[in-house]
């Protein structure tokens, strides 16, 4: 451990250079260590907070499972990337973050699976992803003056709704990534200061 000079004692050029060299080596190491800590805290915030019911409820768990972090060497420095929804199977991540309106790309309606087309956790059952793939015969039923409709299982004894048909769906922004970034930026200076002080002690 370096012994600090007595108060008021002159600092030699050699001592000053030694301190500068120590600072030069400590700053990159402290930066990387701080980013790893902040990144770990950020992924926990995303997984255990925002994507576990705080902002979005868990259905399949695919979005929560896609959360990760990476500390990247960027030229002379390092940067932190915390991510979610990179793969095609969670292509809905962007609209949940920023919000937006979903409209049909084919036909007039979006088909929202309900009832027998979904599990208890709210996940679409295999084979029921679209009315075209449903394993039963369906019948259209118009409601609300044609602005909405239902696809019901074609059973003469009773009608069971399998899909609600709507012309568009408005998704409110959840901002789980934006708020994670804000928390990370706010936490970094204190964590970095602590890591730097450990290396200069």
pTM of the complete model? 0.73
What does the pLDDT read at residue 36?
96
pLDDT band at 18 (very low <50, low <70, confident <90, very high): low
pLDDT category at 9 given cuts 50, 70, 90 is low
Cβ(43)–Cβ(83) under 8 Å? no
Look at residue 48 and tell me if it is in a domain: yes
Q: What is the mean pLDDT of residues 7-14?
A: 68
2 assigned to some structural domain: no
Q: Measure CA of the first residue to CA of the last residue in the chain; give whole Å.
A: 6
Do 167 and 179 lie in one domain? The reply is no
pLDDT in tens, 159-199: 788 888 888 999 999 999 999 999 999 999 999 999 999 88
Residues 106 and 57 in one domain: no
- Sequence-separated (6 or more) residues with CB below 8 Å from residue 164: 111, 112, 114, 148, 149, 150
Least Cα distance to 69 among 89, 57, 84, 54 occurs for 84
How much is the pLDDT for 1?
46
In a domain, residue 74? The reply is yes
Residue 151 binned pLDDT confidence (cut-offs 50, 70, 90): low
Residue 10's pLDDT band (cuts 50, 70, 90)? confident
Whether residue 107 is found in the same domain as residue 154: yes
Name which residue leads in pLDDT, 89 or 18. Answer: 89
- Clarify whether residues 119 and 183 are in a common domain: no
Residue-wise pLDDT for 44-87, tens only, equals 999 999 999 888 888 788 899 999 999 998 777 889 999 998 88
Q: What percent of the chain has pLDDT over 90?
A: 39
- Considering the domain boundaries, does residue 6 fall inside one? no
Q: Are residues 149 and 178 in the same domain?
A: no
Q: CA 86, 35, 184, 47: dihedral to nearest 10 degrees?
A: 50
Higher-confidence residue: 167 or 14?
167
Residue-range definition of the domain harbouring residue 137: 100-171
How many structural domains comprise the chain?
2
Whether 54 is covered by a domain: the verdict is: yes
Residue 4 maps to a domain? no
159 and 121 within one domain: yes
Helix (H, G, I), strand (E, B) or coil at 80: strand
| pLDDT tens, position by position, 33-51 | 999 999 999 999 999 999 9
Residues 127, 185, single domain; the answer is no
Identify the pLDDT of residue 7.
Answer: 60
Do 166 and 183 sit in the same domain of this protein?
Answer: no
> Residue 144 falls within a domain, yes or no?
yes
- Name residues whose C-beta falls within 8 Å of residue 77's C-beta, 6 or more positions apart in sequence: 28, 31
Note whether 104 and 83 are same-domain residues: no
Radius of gyration over alpha carbons of the chain, in Å?
Answer: 27
Asked if 172 contacts 99 with a C-beta cutoff of 8 angstroms, the reply is yes
């Amino acid at each position: 451990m370096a012994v600090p000079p007595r108060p008021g004692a002159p600092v030699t050029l050699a001592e000053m250079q030694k301190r500068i060299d120590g600072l030069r080596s400590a700053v990159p190491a402290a930066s990387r260590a701080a980013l790893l800590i902040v990144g770990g805290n950020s992924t926990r915030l995303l997984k255990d907070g925002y994507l576990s019911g705080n902002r979005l409820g868990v259905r399949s768990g695919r979005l929560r499972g896609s959360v990760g972090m990476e500390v990247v060497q960027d030229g002379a420095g390092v940067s932190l990337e915390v991510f979610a929804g990179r793969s095609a199977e969670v292509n809905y991540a962007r609209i949940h973050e920023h919000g937006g309106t979903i409209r049909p790309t084919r036909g007039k309606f979006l088909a929202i699976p309900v009832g027998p087309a979904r599990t208890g956790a709210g996940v679409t059952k295999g084979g029921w992803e679209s009315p075209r793939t449903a394993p039963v015969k369906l019948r259209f039923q118009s409601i609300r003056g044609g602005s909405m409709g239902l696809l019901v299982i074609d059973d003469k004894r009773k009608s069971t709704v399998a899909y609600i048909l709507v012309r568009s769906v408005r998704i409110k922004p959840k901002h789980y990534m934006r708020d994670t970034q804000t928390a990370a930026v706010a936490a970094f200076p204190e964590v970095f200061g602590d890591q730097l002080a450990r290396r200069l002690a």
